[in-house]
């Protein structure tokens, strides 16, 4: 069967390939070119991001409509509890999914284009930490502050990883400004300026994120 194959190196294009891509999370081809590394990343991660973004977008629209029509209050109350908010406005801010280009860019940066150990062993795209001893997780390879073990969440699927990331961005106090900006605009370059709390790199992180989006033309995934 003819399938699309991604070729991404600064610019992107689609070509038909006679053979289906055989990429997997666990196996990293040796001596990949930059082009193939990016192709592998998008082949693995983009479908998961697309599916989760769609389901969250549908949930946002559904909840917004329910609020307007004053329906399904029990469902809305349960979501408020899950996202740790009390008002309708806060819930909508928490639920609206931001553009896929940002998700893909952050995933690429955090997982080194799907080659990091926590991506390969734990399907953890975004390097999300674990603070619960009873949840699936793996130890980071490097200790912090001399002797402190850092634990990373372990997911069963890449979709789970994307959902957990969106949930964190929707309810963590550190991303309050981020949620406010993404609610009123889909301009990815405006939104990423509020992600200085995501990394210890602060503003440098937001600059590199914007550069990665622009260089790889990731906004095409938002169309």
Q: Report strand pairing: 137-139 vs 151-153.
A: antiparallel
pTM of the predicted model as reported, rounded to 2 decimal places: 0.88
Residue 124 lies in a domain: no
Tens digit of each residue's pLDDT (9 = 90 or more) over 98-119: 999 999 999 999 999 999 999 9
Residue 97 lies in a domain: yes
| Domains contained in the chain, number | 1
Residue 46 lies in a domain: yes
SS3 state of residue 104: helix
Residue 13 lies in a domain: yes
Residue 151 lies in a domain: no
**Phi and psi (nearest 5°) for 14?**
-120, 135
Return the pLDDT at 209: 98
CA neighbor of 92 nearest in space, from 70, 123, 59: 59
Tens digit of each residue's pLDDT (9 = 90 or more) over 128-182: 999 999 999 999 877 777 788 889 999 999 999 999 999 999 999 999 999 999 9
- Give, in degrees to the nearest 5, the angle at Cα 100 between 116 and 24: 35
Residue 197 lies in a domain: yes
CA neighbor of 161 nearest in space, from 127, 196, 197, 113: 127
Task: Supply the range of the domain harboring residue 98.
Answer: 3-117+165-222
């Amino acid at each position: 069967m003819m399938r699309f194959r991604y070729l991404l190196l600064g610019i992107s294009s689609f070509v038909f390939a006679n053979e289906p891509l055989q990429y997997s999370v666990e196996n990293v081809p040796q001596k990949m070119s930059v082009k193939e590394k990016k192709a592998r990343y998008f082949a693995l991660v983009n479908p998961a991001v697309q599916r989760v973004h769609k389901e969250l977008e549908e949930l946002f629209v559904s909840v917004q409509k329910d609020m307007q029509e004053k329906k399904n209050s029990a469902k809305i109350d349960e979501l408020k509890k899950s996202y740790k908010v009390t008002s309708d406005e806060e819930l909508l801010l928490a639920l609206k999914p931001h553009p896929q280009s940002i998700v893909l860019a952050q995933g690429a940066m955090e997982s080194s284009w799907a080659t990091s150990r926590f991506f390969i062993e734990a399907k953890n795209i975004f390097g999300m930490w674990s603070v619960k001893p009873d949840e699936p997780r793996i130890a980071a390879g490097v200790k912090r502050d001399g002797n402190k073990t850092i634990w990373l969440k372990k997911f069963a699927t890449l979709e789970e990883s994307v959902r957990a990331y969106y949930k964190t961005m929707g309810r963590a106090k550190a991303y309050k400004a981020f949620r406010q900006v993404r609610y009123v605009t889909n301009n990815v370059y405006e939104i990423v300026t509020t992600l200085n709390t995501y990394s210890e790199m602060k503003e440098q992180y937001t600059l590199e994120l914007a550069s990665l989006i622009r260089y790889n033309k990731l906004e095409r995934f938002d169309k």
